[in-house]
Amino acid sequence: MMIERPDYEARLNADLSAAQQRQESRVPERCDVLVAGAGPAGAFLAAELAKAGASVVLCEKSQFPRHKICGCCLGFAAVSILRDSGASEILNQLPSVPLNRVKFFFGQTPLSFSLPDGRALSRSVLDSALVFYGLQQGVSFYQNTTARLQSVSNDFATIQLSGHDGALNYLKARILVVADGIAGSVVSDFSRFEFEILSHSRIGIGCVMESCDAVEQGTINMYYDARGYLGAVRLEDGRTNLAAAVDAELLKQLGVGGAVDHILSLSPSTERWRSTAAAQHWRGTVALSRKRKHVWGERIFVVGDAGGYLEPFTGEGMSAALASAKLVLPLVLDAVNEWSPPLGHRWQTLHRSRGTSDRFICRVVTSMLHNPRMVSVAARVLQSYPAIWTQLASLVNKPYCGEVKQ
Ligand SMILES: Cc1cc2nc3c(=O)[nH]c(=O)nc-3n(C[C@H](O)[C@H](O)[C@H](O)COP(=O)(O)OP(=O)(O)OC[C@H]3O[C@@H](n4cnc5c(N)ncnc54)[C@H](O)[C@@H]3O)c2cc1C
């Protein structure tokens, strides 16, 4: 069944293009901050920096609205960060789907648990809305524009911006924020910023299906196998978003469609729709689990997934990306006034400590997921003692609570 696309997406994109056209079309030669990458971390940080008075250029290599492989579940922590910011007004106008339940399928009987209030919202809409929020704050946005760091001097970083039409511009920014996700190349010419790929890192795959009534609205449906897992949610327009993290070996062995079919086949409730799901046009990511030794350099801060990433089972990537934008904000503003290396060290420490408990939970969950016996034991424990689940869910979904303590 074809679903008529609601007009808010078209309206949002029209607003976005109109606001962009009002800007100068030439990339400026200088700015306070260049933010490279317009995912949640980059778009939100750019907006907040501009709101605080900095001159900000946000560049994005893709054309918006763009699809992004993601489970599209905005956790409670992410919702609370946005609700407390100036973006709340725009976001309130977007008809996202309230999410308050997660169902785990690994066998005959699914296990169902409640979740603190989250939202399901397609990334094309969410990310465009955040960029639009930035435009309202005075951010200069350049899409179809790929950033690459050239050099850093005493006073500024020089970044090459290449347009899809081959045009090259060089911009001098007092501060560069790298927010280019797990596959970005903004600082890839600099060995200091090399990613370390963790062993047994999985590959992310994702697609959007037109509709699937069998997938309950308002619930994150997780289908599990020892070699991968898949999350399905209904989006704001009735379509179903599918996203999975899968062992590279399984993908090699069965291909993408085969791997999807295999994971879903372990749950009898998917019988009606799994072949349709397997036949969709799936896209893939680079290896997911990775980390960077350094999240700062001279006049450079690295934020969001670009700073490192673990498997997405706990669905907290966007919350972590927004939280890192919020945490780094005062440091970037100080650095615009006067760069000093302690600001970078401070960011390194904050980045590490902020993620410690989340990373610990992610790591425990990830290693359990590779072991079906442990999953089955954990499932039984959680079913018998739901209070443990409540504790775990609130730990992972704790609201952002951070001013930066200097
Ligand atoms: C399978 C899967 C499922 C997931 N499910 C969830 C979920 O349900 N909930 C959740 O919260 N998180 C989920 N995540 C994680 C979430 O998608 C990320 O954590 C989040 O998108 C990180 O935001 P970011 O802004 O750091 O990076 P991104 O969203 O990746 O944005 C980076 C941007 O930078 C741009 N870019 C890259 N290189 C350049 C360049 N050189 N110049 C300019 N622009 C550039 C990219 O085009 C992109 O737009 C999932 C991830 C995967 C892989």
- 100 burial type by CB count under 10 A (0-12 exposed, 13-18 middle, 19+ buried): middle
Distance 154 CA to ligand 1 centre (A): 31
Strand partners, 284: 205
Place of tokens 């600082």: 187
Would you state the pLDDT for residue 6? 56
Pick from 343, 350, 340, 203: which is nearest to 283 by CA? Answer: 203
pLDDT > 80? residue 389: no
Contact partners, residue 401, CB within 8 Å, separation at least 6: none
**Where do runs of H (alpha helix) occur along 206-316?**
248-265, 274-278
pLDDT > 60? residue 194: yes
CA 136, distance to chain mean position in Å, is: 22
Strand partners, 48: none
Q: Which two tokens stand for residue 13?
A: 């994109």
CA-to-CA distance for 97 and 124, rounded, in angstroms?
15
Q: Which of 123, 318, 327, 354 to mutate to test the pocket of ligand 1 (most atoms within 8 A of CB)?
A: 318
pLDDT > 60? residue 399: no
**Local structure of 114: helix, strand or coil:** strand
pLDDT > 90? residue 297: yes
Give the type of residue at 139: V
Q: Strands of 56-211 (E only): list them.
A: 56-59, 73-74, 97-105, 111-120, 140-142, 145-152, 157-163, 168-178, 195-197, 203-209
Is this prediction's pTM over 0.85? yes
pLDDT (mean) for 371-384: 72
CATH fold of 11-71+88-93+122-198+290-372 = FAD/NAD(P)-binding domain (3.50.50)
CA-to-CA distance for 73 and 377, rounded, in angstroms?
26
Pick from 403, 402, 393, 404: which is nearest to 76 by CA? Answer: 393
**Local structure of 188: helix, strand or coil:** coil
Give the type of residue at 257: G
Place of tokens 């911009």: 171
Distance 305 CA to ligand 1 centre (A): 7
123-137 and 7-21 helices, crossing angle to 10°? 30
Of 123-137, 231-245, 321-335, 389-403, least confident by mean pLDDT is 389-403
Q: What is the pLDDT of residues 301-337, one digit of tens each?
A: 999 999 998 776 666 899 999 999 999 999 999 999 9
> Would you say 127 and 37 are in contact if contact means Cβ atoms under 8 Å apart?
no
Ligand 1 atom with the shortest distance to the CA of 244: 1
**Sorting pLDDT into bands at 50, 70 and 90, what band is 367?**
low
Distance 316 CA to ligand 1 centre (A): 11
Pick from 348, 296, 286: which is nearest to 178 by CA? Answer: 296
> Would you say 155 and 116 are in contact if contact means Cβ atoms under 8 Å apart?
no
Q: Which two tokens stand for residue 207?
A: 């697609």
Distance 13 CA to ligand 1 centre (A): 20
Residue 198 DSSP one-character state:
P
CA 25, 11, 40, 221 torsion-angle sign? negative
Q: Which two tokens stand for residue 68?
A: 């992004």
Ligand 1 atom with the shortest distance to the CA of 243: 1
Within 6 Å (CB) of ligand 1, which residues are found? 36-42, 59-62, 68-73, 75, 146-147, 179-181, 184-186, 204, 206, 243-245, 285, 288, 304-306, 312, 315-319, 321
Would you state the pLDDT for residue 363? 65
- 6 burial type by CB count under 10 A (0-12 exposed, 13-18 middle, 19+ buried): middle
Give me the residue spans of the domains in the chain: 11-71+88-93+122-198+290-372
Give the type of residue at 234: R
Q: What is the pLDDT of residues 99-156, one digit of tens each?
A: 999 898 876 778 888 888 899 999 999 999 999 999 999 999 999 999 999 999 989 9
Q: Which of 70, 125, 141, 358 to mutate to test the pocket of ligand 1 (most atoms within 8 A of CB)?
A: 70
CA-to-CA distance for 393 and 278, rounded, in angstroms?
30
Q: What is the pLDDT of residues 3-33, one digit of tens each?
A: 445 566 777 778 777 777 766 677 889 999 9
Please state, rounded to an integer, the average pLDDT across all residues of the chain: 88
> Would you say 6 and 237 are in contact if contact means Cβ atoms under 8 Å apart?
yes
